[in-house]
Amino acid sequence: MNFNPNSIGIPNGSYFALPQASNAALTLIPVPWDVTTSYRAGTAGGPQAILDASAQVDLFDLENGEAWKNGIGTLPESDKIRKLGQSARKDAEAVIALLEEGEEEDSAKLKPYLLRVNNASRELNDWVYKQAKNQLHDAKLVGLVGGDHSVPLGLVKALSEVHSDFGLLHIDAHADLRQAYEGFEFSHASIMYNTLQHVPQVSALVQVGIRDLCTDEAELAAANERVHQFNDYALNAALLNGKTWAQLCGEILAKLPQKVYISFDIDGLSPDLCPNTGTPVPGGLSFHQACFLINELVKLGKTIIGFDLCEVSPAADGSEWDATVGARVLYKLCGYCIRSQKS
Comparing CA positions, the residue from 72, 67, 66, 59 lying closest to residue 22 is 72
Reported as a single tens digit per residue, the pLDDT across 24-42 is 999 999 999 999 987 788 9
pLDDT value of position 213: 95
Residue 17 lies in a domain: no
pLDDT value of position 155: 98
Distance between CA atoms of 44 and 87, rounded to whole angstroms? 12
| Cβ–Cβ < 8 Å for 143, 159 | no
Residue 8 lies in a domain: no
Strands (E), the chain: 26-31, 72-74, 141-146, 166-171, 202-208, 227-230, 259-265, 303-310
For the cut 90, the answer to whether the pLDDT of residue 10 exceeds it is: no
pLDDT value of position 49: 96
Percent of the chain scored above 70 by pLDDT?
Answer: 99
For the cut 70, the answer to whether the pLDDT of residue 227 exceeds it is: yes
Residue 264, phi then psi, degrees to nearest 5: -115, 105
Confidence of residue 244 (pLDDT cuts 50, 70, 90): very high
Residue 81 lies in a domain: yes
Rounded to an integer, the average pLDDT of 108-129 is: 96
For the cut 80, the answer to whether the pLDDT of residue 235 exceeds it is: yes
Residue 13 lies in a domain: no
Residue 118 lies in a domain: yes
Percent of the chain scored above 90 by pLDDT?
Answer: 88
Confidence of residue 319 (pLDDT cuts 50, 70, 90): confident
Distance between CA atoms of 250 and 228, rounded to whole angstroms? 14
Confidence of residue 315 (pLDDT cuts 50, 70, 90): confident
Distance between CA atoms of 164 and 131, rounded to whole angstroms? 20
Residue 16 lies in a domain: no
- The SS3 of residue 71 is coil
- The SS3 of residue 310 is strand
Give the rounded distance of the alpha carbon of 155 from its chain centre.
Answer: 11
Residue with more model confidence, 316 or 307: 307
First-to-final CA distance of the chain? 27
Residue 165 lies in a domain: yes
pLDDT value of position 202: 98
Distance between CA atoms of 183 and 94, rounded to whole angstroms? 12
Reported as a single tens digit per residue, the pLDDT across 193-212 is 999 999 999 999 999 999 99
| Cβ–Cβ < 8 Å for 279, 38 | yes
For the cut 90, the answer to whether the pLDDT of residue 342 exceeds it is: no
Number of structural domains (the chain) is: 1
Torsion of CA 98, 100, 105, 111, to 10 degrees: 10
Distance between CA atoms of 46 and 30, rounded to whole angstroms? 9
Rounded to an integer, the average pLDDT of 69-93 is: 96
Residues in the chain: 343
Residue 5 lies in a domain: no
Range of the domain at 41: 24-340
Distance between CA atoms of 11 and 321, rounded to whole angstroms? 18
In this structure, what CATH number is given to the domain that contains residue 40? 3.40.800.10
For the cut 80, the answer to whether the pLDDT of residue 343 exceeds it is: no
For the cut 70, the answer to whether the pLDDT of residue 1 exceeds it is: no
For the cut 90, the answer to whether the pLDDT of residue 86 exceeds it is: yes
